[in-house]
Chains A and B, each alone.
Chain A
């Protein structure tokens, strides 16, 4: 096998690693953003209830 042919396999292997990791990080970022939204919603809900409690 020539070095050019081998280089194609090497490039393909490192591309697989890159693509899988990029997909993983994209999915993780999406999941973490969902959690951040949930935390924010809960914080607002708790504050709303506190204000309601103080008004009572």
Chain B
């Protein structure tokens, strides 16, 4: 009797985790609406760029927001790493892992769209210029995060090492962001400056709406993945408990 009660009581958090998991679609819907609006504005409201980039500049309206969002995801991993080292709470480890995973996904998109845009605008798929090089270094550092995780079996040690790597790797994020400002000889233009954006109003609006959409998408994805990770942990705990009380 006691064993079964333990089983049912422990099943409740799993159910709550499931509810958290399926609560994410509203946020995805807002993100989708903003992204579609951003795309429509980019193609039907913002004018074709007058510079040498011409029509290929339309890639910018998703490329730049995806890049900023990737850096934000790495920022979340940085904060989660600090919080884990301070508290030892494994939920922060899960949050950090999810943030790095999504940061890498967005980085993959930045690299893909950037290479295509580079070929169109500069005539080359890749250039060893400051922004691209520092971004590639960030990608490699965060890819190493998962290599490190796979090498350590013990849970708390793995979480500690991963947290330290997420904190150290984040050093490259502001370097990537400010690379175009500190090293203006690179190919990337400075989009947001202290005195304004340097973009026409309609272009800026399209960019900001896409930026909002990508940020909402990241938040929705982090929420979904984080809830899934917590639920997976609860399921593993439940399995262990049921197995133990069944002995």
Contacts and interface: CB of A to CB of B under 8 A. Distances in A.
A50 B6 CA distance: 9
A20 B62 contact: no
A20 B56 contact: no
A-side binding surface: helix, strand, loop or mixed?
helix
A35 B231 contact: yes
A42 B14 contact: yes
Contacts of A36: 18
Interface centre among A24, A31, A47, A49 (most CB of B within 10 A): A49
Interface in A27-56: 28, 31-32, 35-36, 38-39, 42-43, 45-47, 49-54, 56
B-side binding surface: helix, strand, loop or mixed?
helix
Interface in A1-20: 1, 3, 5-7, 9-10, 12-14, 16-17, 20
Interface band, chain B: 35 or more
A2 B5 CA distance: 71
B14 to A, nearest CB: 5
B15 A39 contact: yes
A49 to B, nearest CB: 4
Given A9-B116, A39-B235, A47 B109 contact: no
A49 B4 contact: yes
B108 interface: yes
Contacts of B14: 39, 42-43
Given A1-B120, A39-B235, A13 B4 contact: no
Interface of A: 1, 3, 5-7, 9-10, 12-14, 16-17, 20-21, 24, 28, 31-32, 35-36, 38-39, 42-43, 45-47, 49-54, 56
